[in-house]
Amino acid sequence: MPRLTTPAITPGTQRDLTQPVLDADGLRLRPWHVDDAAVVVTAYEDSDIRRWHTRSMNLDEATAWVTSWAGRWHGETGAGWALVRDGAVVGQISLRSLDHGDGRSDISYWVLPQARGRGTATAALTAVSTWAFETLGLHRIEVDHSVDNPASCRVATRAGFRLEGTKRGDALHADGWHDMHLHARVAGDVS
């Protein structure tokens, strides 16, 4: 069924761009490299990352995940960055989806234990959302997290994502169904 409005983001916009390297507060956000797969395996061995992201990865799965991001960029279905501090990968952030029609995406992130409590996730979330609004032309970006994950709530709030509400029983975790907080920023919000 055809839309009666012009897409908020013209298809081809992301594909025609080179995925940027973004810098924020001593943190570098860069596209994933195949040799980052071992770090992803280590990340998903961390109990907090595994708890909130509800998966584990072996080396083959991590390699496939890392290499999938280039195709997602060119297919305009998402974008993922490795978070690098002092030459080491310390986390990830990704636009998990891209809705051209409504100019909308959702973001996920995780940070390895040695980089937690240093503003890493907040800096990454601010950098990616700023780029996505200013360059890609997104209108709305959402972050959702378990209500039992106050650290993620602080990250979203500090990056200017307003808490819009609670989605009841929205995500299945290993310990059962979790209510999820929904945060969002729209173009023009001040972070």
Give tens-digit pLDDT for 115-150: 999 999 999 999 999 999 999 999 999 999 999 999
In a domain, 5, yes or no: no
In a domain, 14, yes or no: no
pLDDT at 191 over 90: no
Predicted local distance difference test score (pLDDT) of residue 180: 97
**Which residues, in sequence order, are bridge partners of residue 24?**
27
Please tell me which residue, 170 or 55, carries the higher pLDDT value.
170
Between helix 150-158 and helix 120-131 the angle, nearest 10°, is 50
| Structure-block tokens of residue 136 | 């890609």
**How many domains would you assign to the chain?**
1
Predicted local distance difference test score (pLDDT) of residue 15: 92
Cα–Cα dist 110/54, whole Å: 12
CATH code where residue 130 lies = 3.40.630.30
- H-helix or E-strand containing 123? helix 120-131
- Sort 96 into a burial class: Cβ within 10 Å, 0-12 / 13-18 / 19+: middle
In a domain, 141, yes or no: yes
In a domain, 191, yes or no: no
Predicted local distance difference test score (pLDDT) of residue 170: 95
Whether the full predicted model's pTM is greater than 0.85, yes or no, is: yes
In a domain, 6, yes or no: no
Coil/strand/helix, residue 45:
coil
Cα-based distances in Å from 31 to 70, 72, 154, 175, 188: 8, 12, 25, 33, 26
In a domain, 8, yes or no: no
In a domain, 163, yes or no: yes
Judge contact between 81 and 22, C-beta under 8 A. Answer: yes
Q: Domain span at residue 28? A: 22-186
In a domain, 15, yes or no: no
Please tell me which residue, 83 or 50, carries the higher pLDDT value.
83
